[in-house]
Amino acid sequence: MATATTYGARDHARAQEGTHADAMPVVPASSWPAPPCEAGHLVWAETVAGGNYTHRVLARGTELRLTDLAGDACAHLLLFAADRPWERLNVADTVKVQWNAYLAEGQLLLSDQGRVLASIIADTSRRHDALCGTSTLVRNTERYGDGTPQSASPAGRELFKLAAAKNGLSARDLPPSLSFFQGVEVREDGALDFTGSVGPGASVTLRAEQGVTVLIANVPHPADPREAYTSTPLEVLAWRAGPTGPDDPLWDATPEGRRAFLNTAEFLAARGLA
């Protein structure tokens, strides 16, 4: 089909309607096959290619499931309070307040205000990382020859910049991120051992305890020792549910967690949101 004219380009573009790629958002999300929730509750359904990114604003109580489809995805995650992005994921507080550097089911993702942005409610991987952050332009250029977003080896921070810009944020708004599905362990001497993934099909499910802006970059972990840029598709599904309440065992699982939930509930109540 000729595209040398405006009409030809229009006809060519319209001819692509209904074409599906392996990695793309599904719109509407409710058309996703076999959704993991009640009919009509799915709000986000997307497969993110290796070396790509995605973003979405999710309502309080939404559950977000990330799945490592082929065994070499690495979901680098940032969270911001949806209507006040100056409150954001604080990885250092997430680790030190909960006395644990290893993310798993039952742990909370805390903001720099001592409140809960999200909780981990299911996890079949346990290969995650709260220590290393994501890859950078300089590091990827040294390792792979390029780290720009349009290259074959984009850096996580460069992709985060693009996702941030689409949500009114800039590079200065990007704190250290968490990584899911590719982990590290700390040795006695303080060095880090890369543990990799558990293989295809591992998933982690988060529950948004406030309205959150989610940024995800699916790129190799910076500690991955493999010479090749290795990153495979990530499945992202989100559906309407409800936030954690005082009757949920997670609320009182630890004194630190209880205080973070109370801080969150008090703040939301004052704004008429709880």
Q: Do you know the residue count of the chain?
A: 274
Q: Tell me, yes or no, whether 37 lies in a domain.
A: no
60-64, 225-229, 270-274: least confident range:
270-274
Q: Which tokens go with 208?
A: 């948004």
Q: Residue 35 above 90 pLDDT?
A: no
CA distance 135 to 177: 10
Q: Tell me, yes or no, whether 35 lies in a domain.
A: no
Mean pLDDT of 171-185: 97
pLDDT category, 24, cuts 50, 70, 90? confident
Burial class (CB in 10 A: 0-12, 13-18, 19+), 170: exposed
Q: Tell me, yes or no, whether 258 lies in a domain.
A: yes
Mean pLDDT of 72-94: 97
Q: Tell me, yes or no, whether 9 lies in a domain.
A: no
Residue-number span of the structural domain to which 149 is assigned = 42-270
Q: How does the average pLDDT of the chain come out, rounded?
A: 95
pLDDT at 245: 96
Q: Tell me, yes or no, whether 3 lies in a domain.
A: no
**pLDDT digit string, tens, across residues 98-115:** 999 999 999 999 999 999
pLDDT at 8: 83
Burial class (CB in 10 A: 0-12, 13-18, 19+), 269: exposed
Percent of the chain with pLDDT over 90: 84
Q: Tell me, yes or no, whether 176 lies in a domain.
A: yes
Q: Tell me, yes or no, whether 1 lies in a domain.
A: no
Q: Which tokens go with 138?
A: 């300089």
Q: Residue 1 above 70 pLDDT?
A: no
Q: Tell me, yes or no, whether 24 lies in a domain.
A: no
12-26, 89-103, 115-129, 252-266: least confident range:
12-26
Q: Name residue, tokens 């001819």.
A: 15
> Is pLDDT larger for residue 8 or for residue 148?
148
Structural domain tally of the chain? Answer: 1
Mean pLDDT of 149-166: 98
CA distance 155 to 108: 27
